[in-house]
Each structure stands twice: as structure tokens, then as C-alpha cells.
Structure 1
Amino acid sequence: MSQKIPVGILGATGAVGQNYIYLLQNHPWFEVSYIAASPRSAGKSYREVVASKWLLGANIPEGVADLIIEDANDASKALGRCRFVFSALELDSKDEIKALENAYAALGIPVVSNASAHRWSEDVPMLIPEINADHISVIDAQRKTHGWDKGFVAVKPNCSLQSYMTPIWALMQAGYEVKRMFVTTMQAVSGAGYPGVPSLDMIDNVVPYIGGEEEKSEKEPLKILGKVENGKIVNFGGLKVSAHCNRVPVINGHTACISLEFGDKKPSLAEVEKIWREFRALPQELDLPFAPRQPIIVRSEANRPQPRRDRDEDKGMAVSVGRLRECPLFDIRFVGLSHNTVRGAAGGGILNAELLKAKGYLA
């Protein structure tokens, strides 16, 4: 009998749900045992629903292909069939997603979510484990507030933030105050899901608008960098962010161009590079399978990082940085890159679940 933890996937037929299924095959801790999607898919095998729109690799993983899809709107269906769920729900209303994720948690089924519905709930941790692993302590207050015993909700942030927040945090951890950040993102089409952006809008084009993305990019860093006080996450108040977000004709890999202004103490370029190369955040004894061995990979070439060359570094979970140089308006500027459907989506959710298990929240 398998000793792996049985897990469920909500929204299993969508692009993020497929990524979860693909990345979780052969995972040493977790095994997909339950899948759920919209009512129109319920009662059918995963193979039957997804075969014509499978996006990853040659074949659907055999361990999941013949599972019968359940209705994700009925949380009780998951009882006894999985210990927690990954949420990749794609509903029109954030309120509907929030209510549904809460329904699973109320039944004692923890929810590790990719959806944005709970990102601004004060008692829900929005995790990048290398930065704010300590935020999981707010789960205790969350359970108390809702009267939940074993259930809870934890989320991951917007996918594009993964390409630059860890390098910025590394500098802050080294004692350098970051006062202002100007960021321009060039985001891959896979970030729009499937079928995503129409080809005639995307080929030979750049779309300088992604709905809600700039607001997320300017607000979410403040929660990620915040602290837990009295059972709530209090946003960080010492950083101003200005963001431009663009959709570009790249399949996978979000790129960001960042300029930073520091406080009175300013690092040299050599010191910045040293901090990034030496940055390690998660204790080795946790031995999280999806954690990158080197969270920040520094490229010294003048034309790197590039999505096609660098997005898959360290299981697609590392952040690649390059083009570090002085900024004539602020202090320094650089380019960051991460794999948006791995680190920025399903892989990031899996790493969050690994951290929660290691800390005793997924028994």
C-alpha cells in the first residue's frame, strides 16, 4: 500500500490543473487520488475529457487518466478520498471561488490554492517559501476564526512576481532597504491559460495590457513582505511599486525588467551579485523535493536570462537574473526570469504544500 499522501486537484481539466497532474507524477510525498472539475465534466474519465486538449508531454499520466472526475462544487465528494486539495479553480466570480475553497476547509480538507480569491484575506498566507515561510503561523488564527479543526486555506501569489521578488528579498535580508521599485513584465501567453490569447492578437505583436495584473504586481509584494501580528498579516509599508505588464509572444517564461532605489545604504554591484549567488533560504533539513538547490541563478552573459534558454533551470523552480547594472534614475537595474507555469503556478503550489507538510500542517 502506498505511503504517499493522497491529494485532490480542483479544476483538474484546466491548464493549471493539468500542470499539477503532470508535475505530481512520481512525487515522493504526494499522489493524485481525486480530481474534480465543472459539472459538465463530472462522471467522465479524465482521459475522456482531456485527451483532445492535453497540453503537456505525449500522454496523460496513467495513474490519473482513468480517474473519474467529480463535481468540484460539491466539497463533500472529496471526503475520505484525499487529505488536502490543490485548487486550480477557474470560476467567473472570486466570491464563488472563496466560498468554495472555504467549504472544503470547513470539512477538514486543507486547500493549497493558485486562485487569487483569497490573496487579500488577512488570515490567509500568500507564500513564497524562500521569503515568508513564517507566515504559515497565521493558519492557527484562521482556523480559530472560522471554527475549522483541520482545514485551512493557503495561497500562492501572482505568477509574474516569482521572477523578481526573491532577488529583492535577498537584498533586503542582507540589510539593504528597498524604497522604490519600477518593474516592467513581459509575460508568456501560457499565463492566460488555454486556449488563452487569440493567435491573431499575439503573433507579431505585444499586448500592453493584462487585466488586473498591474494592480496585483503593485499590491501583492507588500503582503508577501509583511508580518504576522495578532493573527493577521500586516502589509509591509516601506516600499512603493510601479508596474507595467505586457503579454508577449513567448510560450513559457515570465521576464521582468526591474529598477530599484535603496535607502541611505547602497550595495555595490559586486555585493549584489555576491548576495544573490550565496542566497539560501529554506533549511536543508526540510529536504523539500521541489525546492530549488540554488534559488537565484546569476547569469553573467550580456544577453541573458532568456525564456527559452533559462526557464527550466533547477526543475523550473529557480529564478534567473542578469544584466545587473547601475540605473541612472534609481540605483540598480536587472532582468529576472522564472517559469510561469512551474514556479509561478503548479510547481509553486506543490512547494507550498511541501512546506506546509514539513511544518506539520498537512498531517
Structure 2
Amino acid sequence: MINVGILGATGAVGQRFVHLLADHPWFCLHTLTASERSAGKRYADVVNWRLDVPFPESVGDLTISPTTADAVKDCDIVFSALPADVAQGIEEEVAAKGVGVCSNASSHRMDPDVPLVIAEVNPDHLGLIDVQHDRGRDGFIVTNPNCSTIMLTLALEPLRKFGFSSVQVATMQAISGAGFNGVAAMDIYDNVVPFIRNEEEKMATEPRKIMGSFDGSGVEMAPFLVSACCNRVPVIDGHTLSVWVDIDRPLEEVRKAFSEYAAPFSGLPTQPAKSVEYFDQPDRPQPRLDRNRGRGMTVSVGRLREGVRFTALGHNTIRGAAGASVLNAELIYMKKYL
């Protein structure tokens, strides 16, 4: 078994990591970290479990460690659910001690030698792990993208063969994307908030790195532009995206590309049967009906129209966060980078 740890195990994304790793067939949940005030206490005694799945009793007796590099030195992989400002230094320290870091934080996503990975889209970018080793880092850092970037880029992947130069997207993002205490009730009830800090900037840059070309030493950004408008809406889980892509191909070809898309690998425990699922119904996908497809790992696509225009949807804390990171770690293990 591969010993794994979670940095920041009590927050919204940290709890998702615990949920996904508690009974994982390959990974043994070894270390959980949280704030100093929680250190030394049982996980069950400090976590305010707020997910829509039962608390995994098997991890309740794990003792919380402080969030330091030394606390996770006996792990093979550490999953980071830390805020970006905290993650920056800690992740570098952990990697320097020879531990692999699979991070959901934004701190290192655009570092030239750090792969920004959606497992089905750019598995070859994991070659940047070798670049990190060549530059003296004993471990490594691998990041997954912003939650909305994941939904957008995975929905674009079946269309990559057609080529495109411009992508426009309007997001309707769930409140869980801001964390348990991220949006005050009086701000989101009966409302849409047309601003999410730094979100549009991430969506403009991250897809271009993910879909860029890896030449063995670095990534050349993909030659398309993304224009994004990001909104917070009163939905608990599930980000919905309206997407416009400048593809000049018959709609039936685009529909076939979505319908026939398959991941370039199989057999990973967190991998869904369908990474992208296409709907012909005019009113799908919808968050309440479709966010949990593929155990929350499937991106649903529908409402395809001339233009090319379509709607995409995914579960933001599973596919868009913890699940994406766990899938990356499984791919890293399969490719023998540990």
C-alpha cells in the first residue's frame, strides 16, 4: 500500500479527500493535518463533517498532526487542500523531503516545471516530474486546475481534433466552491453574484497550459484564447458552464465527438466509466440531476447548438477538486513515478 496524507483535512476540500481516500484500494490514509489548535486530537473530535455522505468511521481515530513538512515525511504522496497563501511554502518543503505532492491549491499551477494536469487530457505533462528531479527536488509537485477550468477543459478535449482559436464561457458556480464559510447566506439567497475573485484570470490561462505542448523540458501554451465571465449562484454543488467555441464543423460531427469520447487509459479506481457524458435532451445537464454522475467524476455536456455552443456541468468539489487530485495520483502511481 502507498501511504498518503492530507494537508488541511478538516475543510471542505479536505473532507472530500478523506471521503475519497478512506477506503481506497491502492492508498492507505496515514496522516491528516490541520491547524495547531486541532493537533494531537482525534479527527472525529475536531472535524465538523458536512458532506452529503456518511462520515468514514475508519479514519475517526487518526490523530491530527500540525501542518508541517515533518508531519508528512513518512508519506509517499500528500494531497494538499490548503489555501493558496499557506500552500506555497509548505508544498515546496514537503517536496524537498522526497514526498510527492498532489495539490488542489493554485500556488504552483503556473510554475514552468510543475505539471497542471487533468488526467484524461494531458497525462504526458507528468514528464515535468523528471524536470523537477533534474533540478534537485527529491519529491515533486503536481497540481490540478481550478474547478471551473476542469469542467471547461475536459468538455473541450473531445473537440481538440477540430481545432479552435477562441473560447468564451459564462459560469454559474456553486456556493461550495467558496468553502463552508465562503458566501454569507444574505449575499447568495435570491441572488447571483457576478464576481469571483481571480476566477476569470485562472480560466483565461490554465486551459492553455493544460492543452499546451510538452517538449520534454517545458510546456508551450496552446494557441487559443479564453474569455470568461464567472458568477456565483445559489446551488450547493455543481458548476454549470455555457460555452461558445469557434469550430466551423457540422453539428453532427461535434455531437459524435462528444458521444464517442473515451479516456486514453482505463483501470484507475477513481476513473469514471465516462469522463464526458453527452445528453441530447434540450434541458440537460442540470446540477441536481447530473452532478453525481460517475460518482461525481463525470463532466456532463448537452444543449449543443450551432455556433458551436453547449452547456457543461461537473461536481466542483469532486471532479473539480479532490477527485481530480486523487485521479492524478493514481495516474502517477500507474506510471511508476513513486
C-alpha separation in 2, matches of 1:77 and 1:332: 49
How do residues 1-363 of structure 1 correspond to structure 2 at under 5 angstroms? 4-50=1-47, 53-57=48-52, 59-72=54-67, 74-80=68-74, 82-90=75-83, 93=85, 96-145=86-135, 147-149=136-138, 151-172=139-160, 175-229=161-215, 231-236=217-222, 238-262=223-247, 266-284=248-266, 287-326=267-306, 331-362=307-338
- Conserved 8 A contact 2:120-2:265: no
State the Cα deviation string for residues 80-128 of structure 1 (Å, max 9, x = none): 2x2110011125x2xx422210100111111000000001101100111
Unaligned stretches of 5+ in structure 1?
A: none
Q: Secondary structure, in 3 states, of the residue corresponding to 2:16?
A: helix
Specify whether residues 57 and 309 from structure 1 end up closer, same or farther in structure 2 by C-alpha distance, changes over 3 A only. Answer: closer
Structure 1 runs, 4 residues or longer, greater than 3 Å off = none
Count of residue correspondences: 338
Contact 2:80–2:87 (Cα < 8 Å) also in 1: no
TM-score by structure 2 length? 0.97
The answer as to whether partners of 2:209 and 2:220 remain within 8 angstroms in 1 is yes
Distance 1:194 1:315 in 2: 21
Once the two structures are TM-superposed, the CA of residue 234 in structure 1 deviates from its matched residue by 2.1
Specify whether residues 250 and 354 from structure 1 end up closer, same or farther in structure 2 by C-alpha distance, changes over 3 A only.
same
Q: After superposition, give the CA deviation of every residue in 1:53-96 in whole Å (9 maximum; x if it has no partner).
A: 21124643122111111111x2112222x2110011125x2xx4
CA-to-partner distance for each residue in 1:119-175, whole Å, 9 max, x for gaps? 110110011111100000011011221x123x1000000001222212212111xx3
Paired letter, 2:194: P
Does the 8 A contact of 1:252 with 1:311 survive in 2? yes
* Secondary structure, aligned partner of 1:292: coil
Inter-CA distance 107–26: structure 2 relative to 1 (3 Å threshold): same
Distance 1:276 1:164 in 2: 13
The CA RMSD measured in Å over matched residues stands at 1.3
SS at match of 1:36: strand
Distance in 2 of aligned mates of 1:260 and 1:60: 41
**SS of the residue aligned with 1:337?**
strand
Identity in percent:
47
AA paired with 1:46? Y
Say which SS state the counterpart of residue 142 (structure 2) adopts: strand
Which runs of 5 or more residues in structure 2 are unaligned? none
Aligned equivalents of 2:149, 2:240: Cα separation in 1: 10
Counterpart amino acid of 2:325?
G
> Residue by residue, what CA displacement relative to the aligned partner does 1:285-326 show, whole Å, maximum 9, x if unpaired?
xx1011121211111111110000011111111111111011
Q: Aligned partners of 2:57, 2:303: CA distance in 1, in Å?
A: 43
Deviation, 1:274, is 0.6
Q: Any conservation in 2 of the 1:142–1:231 contact (CA below 8 Å)? A: no
CA distance in 2, matches of 1:116, 1:44: 29
The 1-side partners of 2:264 and 2:283 are apart by 30
3-state SS, counterpart of residue 184 of structure 1 = strand
